[in-house]
Amino acid sequence: MNNSKFKKEKLKIKDKYDCCSVQASSDSLYSASNSSSKSPNSFGAHEIGTPWFDGTEGVTQCPILPGDTFVYKFVVDRQGTYLYHAHYGMQREAGLYGSIRVSLPDGESEPFSYDYDRSIILSDWYHNSTYEQAAGLSSIPFVWVGEPHSILIQGKGRFNCSTPGIEAGLCNTTNPECTPYALTVIPRKTYRLRIGSLTSLSALSFEIEGHNMTVVEADGHYVEPFVVQNLFIYSGETYSVLITADQDPSRNYWASAKVVSRNSNTPNGLAIFNYYPNHPRRSPPTVPPPGPRWNDTEPRLAQSIAIKSHQGFIHPPPQTSDRVIVMLNTQNRINGNVRWSINNVSFNLPHTPYLISLKHNLLHTFNQNPPPDGYDFANYDIYSVAKNVNATTSNGIYKLKFNTTVDIILQNANTMNPNNSETHPWHLHGHDFWVVGYGKGKFDNFKDPKNYNLVNPIMKNTVPVHPYGWTALRFRADNPGVWAFHCHIESHFFMGMGVVFEEGIEKLGSLPTSIMGCGDTKGFHRP
Ligand SMILES: O=C1O[C@H]([C@@H](O)CO)C(O)=C1O
């Protein structure tokens, strides 16, 4: 199928949601009703012409107050698997999320076939509240959130009863609510399994004992199919994999999600891959697969590199870019607080959302100096703890020239702990980007661009930067609005690991008043 034709089609949200009470019509009307606390909701949609419905507090809208209802109305512009979640403080981690499946218009077909379509969400779970965690992250001395107590597969998990601080007796495995999620399959049938990760922290390796998975979709784009035994998935990403129930049908199998990239003591998340007609609670007769070694970066990098655009759906990137922004990711100390920074600038959100400030000329509400386009390349040793870990905070934003092509180089580095570099899943709002390259070590701006994949790179909206490595992205600044780009680890964005882009704001009409009411827009009352 021709991709441009495909993009022009107005796609419908299928009348199917995976885990939530959302209203949907063909144009997708999402109504968020808030019974407890403030919580804008963000989607993986592009919000072309409706940037005010992107759902990012401080960027595109004011928070939704307790008791308020906020209606998100936007056009769903492409097929695929998407996620939505709260985008205020650390509320996503507290469980405000779900997934959205967008089907193809009638009469169009996908470049692969399957018998059944299923979705699961992977997440992680803490027993303590996110407010307590947020307080710890902004305290002196710093209190880190630590590793999650559980990994959840479709909302179900287990935890180690000996975890300090957890009340004995809580881990009641005989409670029916504690039984693992069962994905029931009919022998010999092929399943499209849509897997989304909404972990707050954990990078995961997901596998189904004894079954290979063929990856066919990533973040809404068709992938040149490739087979994996375990799928590495980072917070904010979605994948579709095909699995055929072709093993001994007289038993069940384990599905397992293991934390990678961090030395975690969180028990692997387990679910049951249940061959009908075996009982869905019948434990598989085998021990669950142990999963890959947590600190082996090679297979994760290899998977990232293996993801290519499906041959029939290649939409090649522009061969050159107009601007290159190198983003050094570092952990820093600012006035005694532990923070994350990009090019030594740690991000903080303004009280007045940028979109409103820019449209209504409230320019005093945020720092008008843009953050830097790079860092002191020659003198920065990415393999060591920085000699000077100080940084500054700012709420300044990058202004992109409309309709230009922008390259972003995410450069990873050592944290403030010796011999430690973490994986960061970076998520861009309002766009898909081409992932033109990954590399180890320090990005070489002379050599590395020559090896970019400008032929069949995948387009995505979330991508990992691996420990001590770099990831290069290219996108077109062609969606008028203000867009967050941030690490999808909940605590890292909270600690300043993000930036904001503005492009083509002058092309937008008037803003809905429903997004107003906070900061300097207090007088601009909601209807
Ligand atoms: O931001 C973080 O802080 C801790 C650690 O570096 C300091 O305790 C950690 O693992 C993070 O990802």
Tens digit of each residue's pLDDT, the chain (527 residues): 333 322 222 222 222 222 222 222 233 345 566 655 566 667 667 888 999 999 999 999 999 999 999 999 988 989 999 999 999 999 999 999 999 999 999 999 999 999 999 999 999 999 999 999 999 999 999 999 999 999 999 999 987 766 665 555 455 556 666 789 999 999 999 999 999 999 999 999 999 999 999 999 999 999 999 999 999 999 999 999 999 999 999 999 999 999 999 999 999 999 999 999 999 999 999 999 999 999 999 999 999 999 999 999 999 999 999 999 999 999 999 999 999 999 999 999 999 999 999 999 999 999 999 999 999 988 999 999 999 999 999 999 999 999 999 999 999 999 999 999 999 999 999 999 999 999 999 999 999 999 999 999 999 999 999 999 999 999 999 999 999 999 999 999 999 999 999 999 999 999 999 999 999 998 886 55
DSSP state of 54: S
Please tell me the distance between residue 444's alpha carbon and the centre of ligand 1 in angstroms. Answer: 27
Q: How far apart are CA 28 and CA 510, in angstroms?
A: 21
| Tokens 């979709």, residue located | 217
Residue 21: its pLDDT value, please? 24
Phi, psi (rounded to 5 degrees) for 491: -70, -30
Question: Could you tell me what percentage of the chain is helix, strand and coil, using 3-state DSSP and rounding each to the nearest 5?
Answer: 10, 35, 55
Using CA of residue 402, residue 407, residue 412, residue 416, what is the dihedral sign? negative
Residue 35: its pLDDT value, please? 58
Please tell me the distance between residue 339's alpha carbon and the centre of ligand 1 in angstroms. Answer: 9
Ligand 1 pocket test target in 415, 424, 495 with most atoms within 8 Å of CB: 415
Q: Which atom of ligand 1 is nearest to the CA of 201?
A: 12
Asked if 218 contacts 172 with a C-beta cutoff of 8 angstroms, the reply is: no
Q: How far apart are CA 43 and CA 69, in angstroms?
A: 17
Residue 3: its pLDDT value, please? 33
- What is the three-class DSSP state of 52? helix
Q: Is the CB of 144 under 6 A from ligand 1?
A: yes
Q: Is the CB of 124 under 6 A from ligand 1?
A: no
Which residues lie closer than 8 Å to 90 by C-beta, 6 or more apart? 130, 133, 134, 200, 490, 491, 494
CA atoms within a 13 Å half-sphere pointing along the CA-CB vector of 433: 25
Residue 41: its pLDDT value, please? 66
Residue 445: its pLDDT value, please? 94
Please tell me the distance between residue 249's alpha carbon and the centre of ligand 1 in angstroms. Answer: 44
If one counts every other C-beta atom within 10 angstroms of the C-beta of residue 146, the result is: 14
Q: Is the CB of 419 under 6 A from ligand 1?
A: no
Please tell me the distance between residue 144's alpha carbon and the centre of ligand 1 in angstroms. Answer: 6
Q: Residue of the nearest CA to atom 7 in ligand 1?
A: 144
Residue 197: its pLDDT value, please? 98
Q: Which atom of ligand 1 is nearest to the CA of 491?
A: 1
Please tell me the distance between residue 500's alpha carbon and the centre of ligand 1 in angstroms. Answer: 23
Please tell me the distance between residue 87's alpha carbon and the centre of ligand 1 in angstroms. Answer: 21
pTM exceeds 0.90, yes or no = yes
Residue 18: its pLDDT value, please? 26
Please tell me the distance between residue 340's alpha carbon and the centre of ligand 1 in angstroms. Answer: 10
Query: Distance between the two ends of the chain, CA-based, in angstroms?
Result: 44
Q: Is the CB of 417 under 6 A from ligand 1?
A: yes
Ligand 1 pocket test target in 140, 202, 331, 495 with most atoms within 8 Å of CB: 331
Residue 159: its pLDDT value, please? 77
Q: Which atom of ligand 1 is nearest to the CA of 144?
A: 8
Residue 179: its pLDDT value, please? 85
